[in-house]
Amino acid sequence: MFRSLKQNIKAVSWRHFLPDVIVLTLSLYLSLYLRVGWEDFPYHLSYIHWFIPIVVGVRLLVFIVMGVYNIFWRYVSAVDAYRIIRAVFVSSGIIITISFFVSWELGRLPRTVYIIDTFISLMAVMSLRLTKRLLSERKHGRQIRQGKKTIIYGAGDLGRILATHFRTDPGQGAHLIGFIDDNPIKENLYVGGARVLGTLDDMAMIIEKYQVRQVIIAASKIASEKIREVIELTRSYNIRPRIVSNTRLLEEDQQKYVAIERDINLSDLLNRKPRHVDISSVREMIQGKRVLVTGAGGSIGSEISRQVLDHDPSRLILLDHSELNLYEIDKELRLSTSD
């Protein structure tokens, strides 16, 4: 408990703390004005200055204890909003309780002032954080729009995490166009700030319409057949899809996650768990040898071709019934060896 409190205190920053002091003070003045009106407002001003430090101090102390300052403003979410709501209401409860046991200025105010102040303070504190997030996203918006046009296949939790990551981190170099999802009910809905554009059947049309250059599969449970279908659909557009394998914590205390992308590997395309292979033995078997890969234009064959090429064969021979698929994998492998 004390360790957690120490971390909460350490998280307090003046650039976050000071704006709260200002808005909470102004909130109290506004609440008093709304309750007593203009005529009685000057009278109450004569002693309001005495209890402002107490009311604001109680709120700030509760904010610290309940971890409000542990929230990363740039990534403020619904979970964070709930934490702020709890902190505001708990602090209001403490303030109102104190007012029942004192006879000086704090007890002379109408208690409805504290109730009004609860909601105004909540709106003010939330607005500060949301404004910070909006300004941050707007600041990076132009840089993000210059990134690689991207669609995400899978509008679930993984897709939402990935979309949020793209929207808030221009360093990813991705301009998210929208989602594709197998559930037609989700079409035209918004997930993580991006629209669901259609189903997998619409992928080719969406790629052409929006000039998409990157496709990422973000589905926690996806059949290998679906992955192969995505590979086949994107092949003619010279797009090599990637997949989200898992997530990692961005900030442990806040349970913020970011998605980890990677290239699709052979295990993703098989309907069984991958077996661990002694890579050194495989390399010894392939290195310096002439290797023939049949069905090299397909999703599995093309991945095998890539992996074989990594083990330095003296010659790699590709065989496939589709000349177009064969041409595309041959072109890709030649480009990779020329880098």
Side-by-side strand order, sheet with 256-263: 190-191, 194-198, 174-180, 148-153, 214-217, 242-251, 256-263
Coil, strand, or helix at residue 95? helix
Rounded Cα distance between 80 and 58, Å, is: 20
Q: Which residues of 276-309 are buried (b: 16+ CB within 10 A; e: fewer)?
A: eeeeeeeeeebeeeebebebbbbbbbbbbbbebb
Among 269, 299, 317, residue at a domain's last position: 269
Q: Which of 329, 277, 332 is nearest to 301 (CA)?
A: 329
**Domain containing 177: what range?**
146-269
What is residue 157's predicted lDDT score, i.e. its pLDDT? Answer: 83
Percent of the chain with pLDDT over 70: 78
Tokens coding 293: 């890969």
What is residue 99's predicted lDDT score, i.e. its pLDDT? Answer: 79
**Same-domain status, 43 and 116:** yes
Model confidence pLDDT, tens digit, residues 194-237: 899 999 999 999 999 999 998 988 877 777 788 888 888 888 88
Most confident of 55-59, 75-79, 235-239, 333-337: 55-59
pLDDT mean across residues, the chain: 80
| 229 falls within a domain | yes
Bridge partners (DSSP) listed for residue 150: 176, 214
Q: Which residues of 174-202 are buried (b: 16+ CB within 10 A; e: fewer)?
A: bbbbbbbbeeeebbeeebbebbbbbbeee
Rounded Cα distance between 121 and 137, Å, is: 25
CATH of the domain at 169: 3.40.50.720
Tokens coding 313: 């064969």
Reported confidence tier of residue 272, pLDDT bands at 50, 70, 90: low
Q: Looking at the 3D structure of the chain, how many domains does it have?
A: 3
Reported confidence tier of residue 143, pLDDT bands at 50, 70, 90: low
Give the type of residue at 198.
G
**Same-domain status, 8 and 127:** yes
Among 98, 118, 140, residue at a domain's last position: 140
What is residue 232's predicted lDDT score, i.e. its pLDDT? Answer: 84
* Widest Cα–Cα separation across the chain: 96
Rounded Cα distance between 28 and 50, Å, is: 12
**Same-domain status, 127 and 78:** yes
